[in-house]
Structures are given as C-alpha cells and as structure tokens.
Amino acid sequence: MNRVNPFQFGNIVSGEYFYNREDELLRIKQTLAGGNNVTLYAPRRYGKSSLVKKVLNELEKEGFTTI
Ligand SMILES: Nc1ncnc2c1ncn2[C@@H]1O[C@H](COP(=O)(O)OP(=O)(O)OP(=O)(O)O)[C@@H](O)[C@H]1O
Ligand SMILES: [Mg+2]
C-alpha cells in the first residue's frame, strides 16, 4: 500500500479507496430495490464502474441477487 498518496488510480476503486458518492449510492440503490432500471452516464473516468460495483456489493449484503 502507498502510504503517502491516499488515492488509487487506474482501476475500479473499492473498500478504503472508495470515497463519498453517498447521495448517488442511496439514490441508485433505492431505484434498483424498487424494481426500476438505471442508466448511468458520465464522461470517462468519472467513477461509474466503481459506483456500480459498490451498489451491487451493498445490495448483495442486503439480500438481493446481483449479476
Ligand atoms: N468513489 C471514488 N473514490 C475515489 N476515487 C475514485 C472513485 N471513483 C473513481 N475514482 C477514481 O477514478 C478512476 C476511474 O474510476 P472508474 O474506473 O470507476 O471510472 P469509470 O467512469 O468507470 O471510467 P471509464 O469511463 O474509463 O469506464 C479510479 O481509478 C479512481 O482513481
Ligand atoms: Mg468503467
């Protein structure tokens, strides 16, 4: 682990490297849990994949089956 720079660059981030996005996380989770679809779009490298991965992980912990 790099102890000087607290950020990780390049790949999908998770765990301690994933910061904030609390509002988006809640909104996407509530939408999916309600049986609705979500389209997530943003410029490159804005954190879409990391956010999706976090959402799916949290929904799994809450008992949903995700793919
Ligand atoms: N929640 C976050 N906390 C900290 N860093 C983040 C976060 N989300 C993204 N990053 C940073 O942005 C980079 C790109 O994230 P990610 O691959 O999730 O974006 P993306 O929108 O899916 O990119 P692409 O358009 O290339 O698919 C990560 O490597 C990381 O450095
Ligand atoms: Mg991506």
- Report pLDDT digits (tens) over 26-41: 999 999 999 999 999 9
Convert 2-38 to b/e letters by CB count within 10 Å (16 or more is b). eeeeeebeeeebeeeebeeeeeeeeebbeebeeeeee
**Structure confidence at residue 2 (pLDDT):** 57
For the chain, what are the domain ranges? 15-61
Chain segment 53-63, per-residue pLDDT in tens: 999 999 999 99
Q: What is the average pLDDT value for the chain, to the nearest integer?
A: 90
Ligand 1 pocket residue status of 40, Cβ below 6 Å: no
pTM over 0.85: yes
| Distance in Å, CA 35 to ligand 2 centroid | 23
Ligand 1 pocket residue status of 47, Cβ below 6 Å: yes
